[in-house]
Chains A and B, each alone.
Chain A
Amino acid sequence: MIEARNVTKRFGDFVALEDVSVQVESGSLTALLGPSGSGKSTLLRVIAGLERPDAGAVFISGKEATALAPQKRGVGFVFQHYAPFKHMTVWENVAFGLTIRRRPRKEIRARVDQLLELVQLQGLGKRYPAQLSGGQRQRMALARALAVEPEVLLLDEPFGALDARVRKELRAWLRRLHDEVHVTTVFVTHDQEEAMDVADQIVLMNSGRVEQVGAPRELYEEPANEFVMTFVGPVSRLGGEYIRPHDVELLLEPAEGTTVGTVQRVVHLGFEVRVELQLDDDGELWAQVTREECERLGLATGVRTHVRPRRERVLAGV
């Protein structure tokens, strides 16, 4: 288990982390999610020992690690740009942690070969990092971090520098790898879809604070506040409140709690349909409906329709 307890970190006047407390269960896959400048990378670096917090404590596997050097924490760290040792081959990169520990040569060879196979880089051991694609470099960095059998694996924006298709592939691959290796993993991302896709648990951060911790579904369905609501998943505004577009109910007749609006545009996105409305009391709104519903209501540009939220309570804490 990893625990950060009341951690504060400042860089000059900038408060990167303010009294942050987070727990990560052993064997879980946790995402630190948030916009840029929210402190998520700083928190990851504090856990790794690459930054020392101004206040608070860090525990790794039940032991206090706050004053421990990164060398002694048993963490594997994958950097945003992978930080490959450029003058070493892929094989030497992966072997680095074992070589400096002076493990027997035979053992190193077996372990590195096994890891290269795990990250699907077998046969590329003699290449230099400059001769690899972004995705391959990423996997090399992962193998290098896993070589020393860390208790904790930390990844800083692991998919940030990759193109969209490779990113999706690697996401699924990381999930499978985690299920295979079972090392407690924390990764930083600014992409909520990525966090929801990969993680068991999401820690949503904003301005150096934790806004909410929970399973992806909890954050989506029971957001603790407006920030969580707007950051995780699509939102629309109805009557001064945020609402999920699929929670907007469209009716042909007025009913309890409805307001009137005119359809501006209907966009067909395969199964779902996006309906953009101009409300009479001066607001814009978009709703997500199924194709069937759209046909049943006969929605088209200019149609007058009555709108109300499908659920009463939108925010968990309100």
Chain B
Amino acid sequence: MIARFGLRLVAVAYVGLLLLAPVGLVFYRTFEHGLEPVRQVVSSPDFLHALKLTLEIAVIAVPLNTVFGILCALAVVRHRLPGVGIVNALVDLPLALSPVVVGFSLVLLYGPGGWLHGLPVQVLFAFPSMLLATIFVSLPFVVREVVPVLREIGTDQEEAAATLGASAFTTFRRVTFPAIRWAVAYGVVLTMARAIGEYGALAVVSGSIAGRTQTLTTYVDRSYQEFQTVNAYTASVMLATLAMLTLLVMSVLRPKEGVQ
């Protein structure tokens, strides 16, 4: 009894101190002087641009990684093709690699002296490199969610569909996808959260130019450096709100335990 109570206390204190207190403080500081300063920040062009850019990157990166993730999971689990083992191992790389390294490698690749330097479109310090960096860091989530579910459901239902005359695409659409849809949804939410919240890689490749290559995360950092604390707080709250929205969507989507 005491042990259980103690355990709960430790858990609550841990979560409270490390998670709730800092986030709560951000909210408190943001609205400390009322809504007017916040309103001013929210309607400033730089902030709006950062928000728009963050969402634009996410809206492109998330569907791309979802489609790639499903295909990759199918390749890893269902087809023993040569090279699949390597793909499987590489998918985890973005989880292991520091985002700063990801950004730096893009700079090396597209920057002066890099293999892909001098392309007709501006890559570094512009939208393309930011998109590439975001895709890179948010790549593993759908794959990692879908692979175990694909393994678990096995090939029985897919084989049954085939003997009933279903083509590979029909089988995927009517049998495989419905079975993995929750895993996909969960993976999408995690990908979304990562895409919105990415900082390190973007800080390196974007140059963080206000009104041009600033996302919400780099906007927070730049504002804070320049002592525009209200701007930093407001953008932080915006990020936290987006994160909580994705979590909310996830908990609504997630099927209830034990219910098919």
A-side interface residues toward B, CB under 8 Å?
48-50, 69-71, 73, 75-77, 79, 81, 83-87, 96-97, 100-101, 128, 130, 141, 144-145, 147-148
**A188 CB to nearest chain B CB (Å):** 15
Contacts of A49 in B (CB 8 A): 163
- Point out the residue from B156, B170, B179 that lies within 8 Å of A100, measured CB to CB: B170
- A4 vs B251: C-alpha distance when bound (angstroms): 53
A71-B160 CB under 8 A given contacts A85-B175, A100-B174: no
**A76 CB to nearest chain B CB (Å):** 7
- A148 vs B161: C-alpha distance when bound (angstroms): 12
8 residue pairs from A and B, CB less than 8 Å apart: A50-B159, A50-B162, A70-B163, A71-B163, A71-B165, A130-B260, A144-B160, A148-B164
Contacts of A128 in B (CB 8 A): 260
A83 adjacent to B260 (CB under 8 Å)? no
A70 adjacent to B260 (CB under 8 Å)? no
- A98 vs B175: C-alpha distance when bound (angstroms): 15
Contacts of B178 in A (CB 8 A): 87
B-side interface residues toward A, CB under 8 Å?
156-157, 159-167, 170, 174-175, 178-179, 260
A-B contact sample (18 more), CB < 8 A, given A48-B163, A84-B157, A85-B157? A49-B163, A70-B159, A71-B165, A71-B166, A75-B163, A77-B159, A77-B160, A77-B163, A81-B156, A83-B159, A85-B161, A85-B174, A87-B260, A96-B174, A100-B164, A100-B170, A144-B164, A145-B164
B159 adjacent to A79 (CB under 8 Å)? yes
| Chain B residue with the shortest CB-CB distance to A130 | B260
B260 adjacent to A69 (CB under 8 Å)? no
Choose among B157, B161, B164, B166 the residue with the greatest number of A CB atoms under 10 Å from its CB: B164
Contacts of A87 in B (CB 8 A): 178-179, 260
- A87 vs B149: C-alpha distance when bound (angstroms): 15
- Point out the residue from A71, A76, A83, A97 that lies within 8 Å of B167, measured CB to CB: A71
A-B interface, 4 closest residue pairs, ranked by CB to CB distance from nearest: A83-B156, A97-B164, A83-B160, A77-B163
B159 adjacent to A71 (CB under 8 Å)? no
- A71 vs B166: C-alpha distance when bound (angstroms): 6
A97 adjacent to B165 (CB under 8 Å)? yes
Contacts of B161 in A (CB 8 A): 85, 96
- A71 vs B170: C-alpha distance when bound (angstroms): 12
Choose among B157, B165, B175 the residue with the greatest number of A CB atoms under 10 Å from its CB: B165
- Point out the residue from B159, B162, B163, B260 that lies within 8 Å of A145, measured CB to CB: B163
Contacts of B260 in A (CB 8 A): 86-87, 128, 130
Choose among B159, B160, B170, B174 the residue with the greatest number of A CB atoms under 10 Å from its CB: B160
B165 adjacent to A148 (CB under 8 Å)? yes
Contacts of A77 in B (CB 8 A): 159-160, 163
- A79 vs B156: C-alpha distance when bound (angstroms): 7
| Chain A residue with the shortest CB-CB distance to B164 | A97
**B81 CB to nearest chain A CB (Å):** 16
**B84 CB to nearest chain A CB (Å):** 18
- A101 vs B163: C-alpha distance when bound (angstroms): 13
**A86 CB to nearest chain B CB (Å):** 6
| Chain B residue with the shortest CB-CB distance to A79 | B156
- A144 vs B179: C-alpha distance when bound (angstroms): 19
| Chain A residue with the shortest CB-CB distance to B165 | A71
- A100 vs B160: C-alpha distance when bound (angstroms): 13
Contacts of A71 in B (CB 8 A): 162-163, 165-167
Contacts of A147 in B (CB 8 A): 164
- A35 vs B164: C-alpha distance when bound (angstroms): 29
A76-B174 CB under 8 A given contacts A83-B157, A86-B260: no
**A300 CB to nearest chain B CB (Å):** 55
- A81 vs B157: C-alpha distance when bound (angstroms): 10
- A144 vs B161: C-alpha distance when bound (angstroms): 10
| Chain B residue with the shortest CB-CB distance to A141 | B160
- A225 vs B161: C-alpha distance when bound (angstroms): 40
**B163 CB to nearest chain A CB (Å):** 4
Contacts of A76 in B (CB 8 A): 163-164
B179 adjacent to A70 (CB under 8 Å)? no
Contacts of B179 in A (CB 8 A): 86-87
Contacts of A97 in B (CB 8 A): 164-165
